[in-house]
């Protein structure tokens, strides 16, 4: 059967548009998640205006995490993540998050009102990050690992951005940083509004879907799937390490010879480099996932980041400043490179009707773990200093073992002849 050039062009058009859609979603994700750490970028100004302590700024960050956990849990348990179109949830959440973030800049007068508004920003972020992943699955299911790698790379850059802003714009009014984040979030909402949902997932039917329709599966059914459980175990172990590491990076720089060896970069400049290199790690992992598969990339990255944590904990006293710098850069590159690959494995393991809810639930549990690991690591750091890095090592170990055990249980035994 002959295929005309016109038909061939039509067949290739979805693939080309899928590639452009991934780039659009990644940029929108960067803009939307800039709300996450906007208060951290404004920390010097907040300390001056509110007489806030470093602990108070930490509480503002924790409020965002708590809001995100509640938001993702609600999306997952109530089935909202799969009942409505991902693009609509993303757009509504980005607009609401931009407004709450701007309200923080305009109306917050102290820690109490600030905590409430940052909590609401976190709730809105629950409709941005997991829905961004679902949009990726809808547009590029054949290369989910590589596409999600671009998404997490943007999130990583957004995480590092406050350190860069603090280094180059310390004299800016703190409200400007927050309002700039709100403007970016609105631009992200516009991008997703124009893009819409991809063609490879069921369309959301809304709350008024036909009452006679089949029962929508519960999100907890995803955990009965061995491949999903394996990916979830790896993801949870990774999350124990990731955000605690990002939190203590400035402390690791400050209490090692790095800051003295490279005074021109400053603590914030070095912290930005160590965190931002994770974006490169995500992109490299995404390319490799198309050659060797998401599972191998995820497990290799998790093992490497765990090895970096172990080497740092064992030898930080003996290593030179350049060696510590290279070790932290490798750690920064690998500590987040596994995240999109574990999410890709989870998405592929789920039936299409559960993808949104399952990813939201996985995010909710994973970020709940980060609250514990951040609190434990920072508290331990006050007592034993850099030896607190030992507390990050169990995360990769548990993730690797959990993945292996869950995968083994998912293999059916051979039937007797």
Q: What is the pLDDT of residues 375-396, one digit of tens each?
A: 888 888 878 989 999 999 999 9
Q: Residue 8 pLDDT > 70, yes or no?
A: no
Q: How many other C-beta atoms can be found within 10 angstroms of the C-beta atom of residue 177? A: 25
* Mean pLDDT for the chain overall: 83
**Average pLDDT of the residues in 24-29:** 90
pLDDT in tens, 79-135: 787 788 889 999 999 999 999 999 999 998 888 899 999 999 999 999 998 888 889
Q: Which residue has the higher pLDDT, 142 or 394?
A: 394
Distance CA 276, CA 333 (A): 8
Q: How many residues does the chain have?
A: 417
Rounded average pLDDT over 246-257: 87
Domains annotated on the chain, with CATH: 20-144+161-199 (1.20.1250.20), 218-412 (1.20.1250.20)
Token pair, residue 7, equals 């038909």
Element (H, E) at 183: helix 174-195
The answer to whether residues 364 and 207 touch, using CB atoms and an 8 Å cutoff, is: no
Which residue's structure tokens are 């931002």?
Answer: 276
Q: Is the pLDDT of residue 54 over 80?
A: no
Cα separation, 27 vs 25, in Å, equals: 6
Which among 109, 144, 121 is positioned nearest to 18, based on CA atoms?
A: 144
């Amino acid at each position: 059967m002959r295929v005309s050039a016109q038909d061939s062009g039509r067949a290739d058009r979805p693939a080309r548009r899928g590639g452009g859609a991934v780039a659009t979603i990644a940029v929108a994700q960067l803009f939307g998640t800039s709300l996450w750490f906007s208060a951290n970028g404004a920390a010097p100004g907040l300390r001056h205006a509110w007489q806030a302590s470093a602990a108070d700024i930490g509480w503002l960050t924790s409020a965002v995490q708590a809001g995100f956990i509640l938001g993702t849990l609600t999306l997952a348990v109530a089935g909202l993540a799969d009942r409505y179109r991902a693009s609509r949830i993303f757009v509504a959440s980005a607009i609401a998050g931009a407004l709450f973030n701007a309200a923080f800049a305009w109306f917050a007068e102290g820690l109490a009102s600030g905590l409430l508004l940052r909590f609401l920003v976190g709730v809105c972020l629950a409709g941005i990050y997991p829905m961004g992943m679902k949009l990726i699955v809808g547009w590029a299911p054949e290369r989910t690992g590589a596409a999600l790698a671009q998404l997490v790379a943007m999130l990583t850059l957004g995480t590092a951005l406050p350190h860069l802003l603090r280094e180059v714009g310390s004299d800016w009014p703190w409200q400007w940083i927050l309002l700039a984040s709100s403007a970016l979030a609105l631009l992200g909402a516009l991008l997703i509004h124009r893009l819409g949902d991809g063609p490879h997932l069921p369309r959301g039917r809304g709350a008024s879907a036909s009452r006679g329709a089949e029962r929508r599966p519960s999100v907890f059914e995803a955990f009965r799937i061995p491949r999903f459980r394996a990916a979830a175990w790896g993801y949870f172990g990774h999350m124990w390490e990731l955000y605690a590491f990002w939190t203590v990076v400035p402390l690791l720089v400050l209490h090692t010879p790095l800051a003295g060896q490279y005074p021109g970069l400053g603590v914030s400049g070095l912290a930005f480099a160590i965190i931002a290199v994770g974006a490169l790690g995500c992109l490299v992992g995404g390319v490799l996932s198309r050659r060797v598969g998401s599972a191998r990339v995820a497990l290799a990255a998790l093992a490497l980041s765990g090895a970096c944590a172990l080497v740092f904990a064992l030898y930080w006293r003996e290593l030179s400043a350049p060696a510590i710098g290279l070790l932290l850069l490798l750690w920064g590159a690998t500590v987040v490179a596994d995240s999109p690959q574990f999410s890709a494995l989870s998405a592929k393991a789920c039936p299409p009707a559960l993808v949104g809810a399952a990813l939201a639930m996985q995010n909710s549990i994973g970020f709940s773990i980060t609250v514990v690991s951040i609190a434990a690591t920072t508290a331990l750091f006050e007592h034993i200093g850099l030896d607190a890095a030992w507390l990050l090592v169990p995360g990769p170990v548990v993730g690797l073992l959990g993945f292996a055990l869950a995968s083994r249980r998912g293999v059916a035994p051979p039937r007797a002849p």
